[in-house]
């Protein structure tokens, strides 16, 4: 549905894209990956025409709508519900479709009381959610989502995941949460070395393919350099001999024809370890019967909580936003004091705290190096520079001022400050929000080998599954300790206040006591039309892929026979060309089979969803 061809973009001497191209086909949900600063957001802005490429073209069909999650907030209505309803498509029969807006708002964490609140009275996080709701309600042909889970809590993220899995149009999604992305997308597209590569399948498949290709390239380069050296040695040895002059000239021309493969520049990943401070006891912190409220007479965010943190514990704090998770970390860090109860800290406790607001504590006028030296004044500049290099601020990068850093770079500065001083307790409040996938992987690896305890606030189910051995759960207006993993928690009932409407239509039927028979018939007709619009492109693409595989297999058979004939004749040039053609055909066939598997799985899943929705409507009519 969208064709990008020969696209180039640079900012001064910094090249972002160098003659790239790709296609987004009907029904494809694409995960866009790449390191911070690689151009992911820039690409989305060029698709929406907010930025212009230096060269190339982006072709979008006429009347094809693209919805982009803008970072600019502008509201014109006096209530959240009215604002969300602004984006509703008009109904064919003039019926009220506000139930769609209500469903999406509730899924994103709004209560029915929030519907009537003025958008400007909402917190910044909920204004961002309202912006997302407005986009989802508009039902564009293509969704462009740049980190849509920022400011969402875990329950809303789970709802959004289900919503996007059922999305009938096309999508390009940017997120640092690998599991969230892989659970939604049908394809992965990577920005790597100023090029774009797209494959059918999850992120790990793309990364493995890129790794394999670079290994093959480097081995090929080494082999060619060896052969080039042998040829140059021959030329130097026999250049002066007249009897070999023609052969020497032939070798020289051969060298000129074969372009030299350049050694690839290394791409640095974040690699570090937290330094564990010694601890000889069993219990780092013991909280007894602690309660806290910001208003002494108001409701308690934390009420009579008992908690013990052992020296190697891995504890995750989970729950909706605004329920007290960050407050709990501040209590454990000693930045707040409980209203009742007591927090006892071992004399050997050495905590290190990564807080949501800590980025604002960085001094804009200081350099990265100076921020490191602030924590450890005894360091010399060489030691500070080493820490800067580990955090990917090599050379003059350590002299960058905080004021010019991106959110991800500031997060890396905070991580650098954390590893300067030894600690035996890490308190981490959403540390991955501004990190790319590679940096998230490095952080998880560092946590895994850390000898002390970790208490982490996160909304990422991938991180919860990788780290948590115990949970502190904020749910149903209460806080409690859960002894077990996150999967244990889900298996034993999970979230009590989780809103889980499968679709707007089902929610409306189950909720709407006053739904008329006329509305039900209209909704049924709308669902049937939607099914046809959604499934037909998938079925058409499946037929195209099957036909393409058949043609390639026929060509592969012909090339294989031709290779046998060329081998019998000893035709070296034909053997080389046919071998390459067979390799490319097999690679293309493998890729098409992967795409076919994804398409058929998607078709089956969407067919089931539509059938379930139809059954609900039939039951309501009956």
pLDDT in tens, 51-77: 999 999 999 999 999 999 876 788 899
User: For the chain, what percent of residues have pLDDT higher than 90?
Assistant: 33
**pLDDT per position as a tens digit, 525-538:** 666 766 666 677 77
Mean pLDDT confidence for 435-445: 85
DSSP per-residue codes, 362-397: S-TTSBHHHHHHHH-TT--HHHHHHHHHHTT--GGG
Q: For residue 262, is pLDDT > 80?
A: no
Which pTM value belongs to this model? 0.67
Check residue 506 and give its pLDDT: 44
Check residue 215 and give its pLDDT: 81
**Closest to 175 in 3D by CA, of 61, 41, 67, 273:** 41
Helix/strand/coil for 217: helix
Check residue 513 and give its pLDDT: 43
Check residue 512 and give its pLDDT: 44
**pLDDT per position as a tens digit, 118-149:** 999 988 788 989 999 999 999 999 999 998 98
Alpha carbon dihedral 379, 408, 449, 494, in 10-degree steps, equals 140
Average pLDDT, the chain: 83
Check residue 619 and give its pLDDT: 61
Among the residue ranges 83-97, 284-298, 480-494, the one predicted with the least confidence is 83-97
Kind and range of the H or E element at 597? helix 572-621
Helix axes 124-138, 98-107, angle to 10 degrees: 140
Q: For residue 27, is pLDDT > 80?
A: yes
Q: Which residues contact 31 (CB under 8 A, 6 or more apart)?
A: 173, 174, 175, 181, 182, 184, 185, 187, 188, 189, 202, 203
Cα distances (angstroms) measured from residue 252 to each of 231, 239, 265, 519? 8, 10, 28, 81
- Could you please state the CATH topology (level 3) that the domain comprising 283-491 is classified under: Rossmann fold (3.40.50)
Pairing of strands 142-146, 66-68: parallel
Q: How many C-beta atoms lie closer than 10 Å to residue 569's C-beta?
A: 9
**Closest to 130 in 3D by CA, of 146, 153, 154, 106:** 106
**pLDDT per position as a tens digit, 571-586:** 778 888 888 888 888 8
Kind and range of the H or E element at 87? none
CA 6 – CA 440 distance, rounded (Å): 32
Q: Which residues contact 616 (CB under 8 A, 6 or more apart)?
A: 505, 506, 509, 510
Cα dihedral sign for 64, 138, 185, 42?
positive
Q: For residue 23, is pLDDT > 80?
A: yes
Residue 139 dihedral angles phi and psi, to the nearest 5°: 50, 60
Residue 169 dihedral angles phi and psi, to the nearest 5°: -100, -160
**Closest to 68 in 3D by CA, of 119, 19, 138:** 138
User: For the chain, what percent of residues have pLDDT higher than 70?
Assistant: 87
Q: For residue 622, is pLDDT > 50?
A: yes
**pLDDT per position as a tens digit, 351-407:** 999 886 666 778 888 998 888 888 877 777 888 888 888 887 888 888 999 888 877
Mean pLDDT confidence for 529-558: 78
- Could you please state the CATH topology (level 3) that the domain comprising 507-621 is classified under: Helix Hairpins (1.10.287)
> What are the structural domain ranges in the chain?
2-208, 283-491, 507-621
The stretches of 289-359 forming alpha helices (DSSP H) are: 325-333
Alpha carbon dihedral 403, 404, 406, 409, in 10-degree steps, equals -80
CA 602 – CA 201 distance, rounded (Å): 12
CA atoms in the 13 A half-sphere facing the CB of 263: 4
Among the residue ranges 156-165, 235-244, 440-449, the one predicted with the least confidence is 235-244
CA 291 – CA 311 distance, rounded (Å): 24
Strand order in the sheet with 470-475: 351-354, 425-429, 453-457, 314-319, 470-475, 478-482
Q: For residue 566, is pLDDT > 50?
A: yes
**Closest to 189 in 3D by CA, of 424, 4, 384:** 4
Among the residue ranges 84-88, 260-264, 320-324, the one predicted with the least confidence is 260-264
Tell me the three-class secondary structure of 15-42, residue by residue: EEEEEEEEEECCCCEEEEECCCCCCHHH
Check residue 269 and give its pLDDT: 63
Q: For residue 611, is pLDDT > 60?
A: yes
CA 426 – CA 248 distance, rounded (Å): 67
Whether 507-621 and 283-491 are alike in CATH topology: the answer is no
Check residue 80 and give its pLDDT: 92
Mean pLDDT confidence for 105-113: 87
Check residue 264 and give its pLDDT: 66
Mean pLDDT confidence for 111-123: 89
**pLDDT per position as a tens digit, 443-501:** 898 899 999 999 999 988 889 999 999 999 998 888 999 999 998 988 887 776 554 44
Tell me the three-class secondary structure of 579-592, residue by residue: HHHHHHHHHHHHHH
Task: Decide: 109 and 152 in contact? Cβ < 8 Å.
Answer: yes
Q: How many C-beta atoms lie closer than 10 Å to residue 48's C-beta?
A: 15
Range 2-208 classified under CATH 3.40.50.300: yes
């Amino acid at each position: 549905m969208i064709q990008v061809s020969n696209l180039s973009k640079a900012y001064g001497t910094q090249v972002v894209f160098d003659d790239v191209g790709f296609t987004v086909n009907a029904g494809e949900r694409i995960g866009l990956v790449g390191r911070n600063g690689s151009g992911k957001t820039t690409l989305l802005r060029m698709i929406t025409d907010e930025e212009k490429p230096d060269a190339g073209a982006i072709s979008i069909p006429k009347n094809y709508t693209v919805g982009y999650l803008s970072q600019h907030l502008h509201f014109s209505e006096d209530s959240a519900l009215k604002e969300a309803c602004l984006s509703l498509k008009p109904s064919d029969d003039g019926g009220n479709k506000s139930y769609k807006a209500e469903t999406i708002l509730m899924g994103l964490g709004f209560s029915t009381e929030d519907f009537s609140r003025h958008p400007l009275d909402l917190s910044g996080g909920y204004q961002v959610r309202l912006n997302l709701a407005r986009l989802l309600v508009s039902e564009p042909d293509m969704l462009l989502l740049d980190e849509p889970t920022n400011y969402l809590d875990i329950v809303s993220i789970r709802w959004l995941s289900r919503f996007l899995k059922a999305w009938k149009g096309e999508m390009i999604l940017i997120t640092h949460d690998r599991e969230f992305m892989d659970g939604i997308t049908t394809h992965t597209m990577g920005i790597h070395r100023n090029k774009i590569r797209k494959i059918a399948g999850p992120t790990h498949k793309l990364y493995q393919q890129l790794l394999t290709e670079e290994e093959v390239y480097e081995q090929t380069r080494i082999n060619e350099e060896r052969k080039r050296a042998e040829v140059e040695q021959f030329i130097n040895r026999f250049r002066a001999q007249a009897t070999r002059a023609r052969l020497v000239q032939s070798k020289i021309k051969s060298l000129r024809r074969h372009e030299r493969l350049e050694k690839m520049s290394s791409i640095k990943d974040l690699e570090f370890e937290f330094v564990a401070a010694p601890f000889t006891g069993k219990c780092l912190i013991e909280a007894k019967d602690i309660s806290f409220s910001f208003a002494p007479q108001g409701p308690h965010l934390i009420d009579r909580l008992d908690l013990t943190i052992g020296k190697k514990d891995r504890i995750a704090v989970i729950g909706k936003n605004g329920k007290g998770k960050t407050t709990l970390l501040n209590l454990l860090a000693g930045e707040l004091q409980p209203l009742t109860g007591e927090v006892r800290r071992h004399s050997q406790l050495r905590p290190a705290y990564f807080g949501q607001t800590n980025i604002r504590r960085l001094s804009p006028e200081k350099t990265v190096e100076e921020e490191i030296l602030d924590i450890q004044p005894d360091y010399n500049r060489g030691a500070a520079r080493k820490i800067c290099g580990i955090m990917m601020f090599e050379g003059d990068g350590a002299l960058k001022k905080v004021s010019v850093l991106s959110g991800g770079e500031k997060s890396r500065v905070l991580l650098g400050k954390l590893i300067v001083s030894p600690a035996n307790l890490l308190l981490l409040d959403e540390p991955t929000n501004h990190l790319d996938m590679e940096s998230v992987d490095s952080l998880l690896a560092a946590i895994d080998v850390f000898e002390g305890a970790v208490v982490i606030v996160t909304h990422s189910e991938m991180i919860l599954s990788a780290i948590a051995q115990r949970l502190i759960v904020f749910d149903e207006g209460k806080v409690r300790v859960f002894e077990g993993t996150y999967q244990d928690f889900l298996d034993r009932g999970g979230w009590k206040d989780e809103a889980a409407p499968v679709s707007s239509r089902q929610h409306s039927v189950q909720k709407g006591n006053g739904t008329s028979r006329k509305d039900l018939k209209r909704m049924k007709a709308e669902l049937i039309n939607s099914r046809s619009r959604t499934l037909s492109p998938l079925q058409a693409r499946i037929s195209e892929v099957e036909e393409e595989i058949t043609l390639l297999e026929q060509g592969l058979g012909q090339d294989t026979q031709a290779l046998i004939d060329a081998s019998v004749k000893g035709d070296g040039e034909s053997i080389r060309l046919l071998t390459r053609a067979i390799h490319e055909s097999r690679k293309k066939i493998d890729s098409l089979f992967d795409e076919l598997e994804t398409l058929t799985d998607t078709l089956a899943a969407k067919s089931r969803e539509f059938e379930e929705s139809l059954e609900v409507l039939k039951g309501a009519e009956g």
